[in-house]
Structure 1
Amino acid sequence: MQAYEFINSLIPPLKLSDRAGMALNWMEEIRTDALPVVDEGKFLGFVSDEIIFEVNDPDILISKIEVVSGACWVYSDKHIYDVLRVSADEHSNLVAVLDRENTYLGVITMEDAIAAFADSLSIKSQGGVLILSMDMSDYHLSEISRLIESENTKVLSSFITSDPLDENKIKLTLKMDKPDLKHVKATLERFGYRVIDHFQEETGISADEDRIGNLLRFLDI
């Protein structure tokens, strides 16, 4: 899942000699609010429709308009996780992709990156989700997986986030291949793990369906 695999070929780069009016027309046509600016193969940053509207001159050259997010790029061999991190750091819906010679290759949209993220975490697969809270020193995925597999359930994906309420703890999110996780939850709790939330996808239980929907909306999938 390297960055170059997700380049969106429909988003063209602007040249310094292009005019603002043309940039707005392109943005409207492809339904984006920004476009990359490239000069002789080098990525300079992005021009947004907001900046162009502030300038209020459709004939002005792109070279005369301020570009932003010049650091919003990744190398082509970086993982999709790096794309999401850079996007969050730069508050940008587009991330440029460069080769190791710093030559511009294209851009990735956050819609494409999030879809790839969802696939990598098996979010779209059937199953349930458990969220555990623990000290980092207690995190041993092999042991947790062994307990889960003892209930004939497999871990499809997992990821760790810091706990905003306690800097010494982490949250471990586990996506599993079974919708009904009550036995898995009971087993983990029996061995001292603290399950702080669950999203159980089960036909006929509207509350749990709502919880799955809320999780997907939170992840913007």
Structure 2
Amino acid sequence: MTAKELISQSILPVQTSDLGIQVLDMMQANHVSHLPIVNHEQLLGVISEDDILIHNTEDPIGTYRLSYLRPFCLDNDHIFEVMARLGKLELTVIPVIDAEEKYLGVITVEDLMKYLAVHFSFTEPGGIVVIETSRENFSLSEIARIAESEEVTILSSFVNSVPDSFRLFITLKLNKQNIQAFKASLHRFGYDVYASFSEAEYSDDLKERYDSLMAYLNV
């Protein structure tokens, strides 16, 4: 499964000529807190609700002082790489471009979670952790003992090897949404947590952003 197969058909990019309030409306309608900025099929960056709320929402976003964070994945990137980048950057969407850097669309956290639920039996609530390690250091039994010490159950796991490399990515589906203690224990035992995702954390974050937006607009 590659990134191009998960591109959303419903979420449109914004342009530098769009007003901040229009972009906020689009975010609310699509239940996301980030959107790509695209002009002439070229990805300029990603704008967040926070970016808009510190500026005048009646001004075009092209007038904003933005860092123009430009995260993206390529259309042929494996779904594991997409998951890792979304989790690591804490984005609600990630743009997809081709080898010529033409903008193709976005992948949302929601669509990614639906895919994982269908294909990897991730229907139970709980967090996801992606561990990066070398082949010689990989020990699923040790990882299971670490999980047990934190009263976490590993519901499912799968291993993805990196071609022409000794690196492995181990993706764990856990039975708990609060996975901070487990991640800290992994670090103590020398495991590199490449990315993590907790649906509850994202939901709480989106609710906080929505509440901030409503307070700002005095609705």
Q: TM-score range by the shorter chain?
A: 0.5 to 0.7
Deviation at 1:93, TM superposition (A): 1.5
Change over 3 Å in CA distance of 1:71–1:120 after alignment to 2: farther
Mapped to 2, the partners of 1:62 and 1:101 lie a distance apart of: 26
Higher RCO structure, 1 or 2 (CA under 8 Å, sep 6+):
2
Tell me how far apart the structure 2 counterparts of residues 39 and 89 of structure 1 sit (CA, whole Å). Answer: 26
> TM-score normalized by structure 2?
0.57
Query: Are the structure 2 counterparts of residues 219 and 89 from structure 1 closer, same or farther at C-alpha, using a change threshold of 3 Å?
Result: closer
Tell me the residue number matched to 1:44. Answer: 44
Which residue pairs with 2:15 in the alignment?
Answer: 15
Mapping of residues 108-123 of structure 1, within 5 Å: 108-123=107-122
Q: Give 1:66 shift.
A: 3.9
Mark the CA change 1:39 to 1:166 in structure 2 (over 3 Å): closer, same or farther. Answer: same
CA shift in 2, pair 1:47/1:66, >3 Å? farther
Classify 1:62/1:140 alpha carbon distance in 2 versus 1 (closer, same or farther; 3 Å).
closer
Tell me if structure 2 keeps the 8 A contact 1:2–1:79.
yes
- How far apart in 2 are the matches of 1:217 and 1:87? 12
**Aligned residue-pair number:** 151
Q: Do the aligned residues in 2 keep the contact of 1:72 with 1:92 (CA within 8 Å)?
A: no
| Contact 1:41–1:103, Cα closer than 8 Å, also in 2 | yes
Q: Secondary structure at the match of 2:47?
A: strand
Paired-residue identity, %: 26
Distance change (3 Å), C-alpha of 1:164 and 1:99: same
- C-alpha change, 1:84 and 1:69, in structure 2 (3 Å) is farther
Match of 1:204 in 2: none
The corresponding residue for 1:5 is 5
Which structure has the larger Rg over C-alpha atoms? 1
Alpha-carbon spacing, 1:69–1:115, altered in 2? closer, same or farther (3 Å): farther
Contact 2:34 2:91 in 1 (8 A): no
Q: TM-score, normalised by structure 1?
A: 0.57
* Rounded Cα–Cα distance in structure 1 between residues aligned with 2:28 and 2:201: 27
CA-CA distance at 1:24 after TM superposition: 1.7
Q: For 2:116 and 2:201, how far apart are their aligned partners in 1?
A: 10
8 Å contact from structure 2 (residues 11, 30) kept in 1: yes
1:46-72 CA-partner distances (Å, limit 9, x unpaired): 1222221211331x1121124456332
Q: 1:116 to 1:63 in 2, by over 3 A?
A: same
Q: 1:32 Cα deviation (Å)?
A: 2.0
1:127-147 per-residue CA deviation (whole Å, 9 max, x = no partner) reads xxxxxxxx9538599xxxxxx
Say if 1:72 and 1:87, in contact at 8 Å, map to a contact too. no
Q: Which residue of 1 aligns with 2:187?
A: 164
SS in 2 for 1:24: helix
Matching residue of 1:197: none
Equivalent pair of 1:94/1:107 in contact (CA under 8 Å): yes
Q: Distance in 2 between matches of 1:113 and 1:57?
A: 30
Name the aligned partner's letter for residue 91 of structure 2. S
Q: Structure 2: how far apart are the matches of 1:124 and 1:105?
A: 29
Distance 1:87 1:49, change over 3 A: same
Gaps of 5+ in 1: 126-134, 142-155, 171-215
Shift of 1:117: 2.9
Matching of residues 122-141 of structure 1 within 5 Å: 122-124=121-123, 137=136
State the distance in 2 between where 1:217 and 1:19 align. Answer: 30
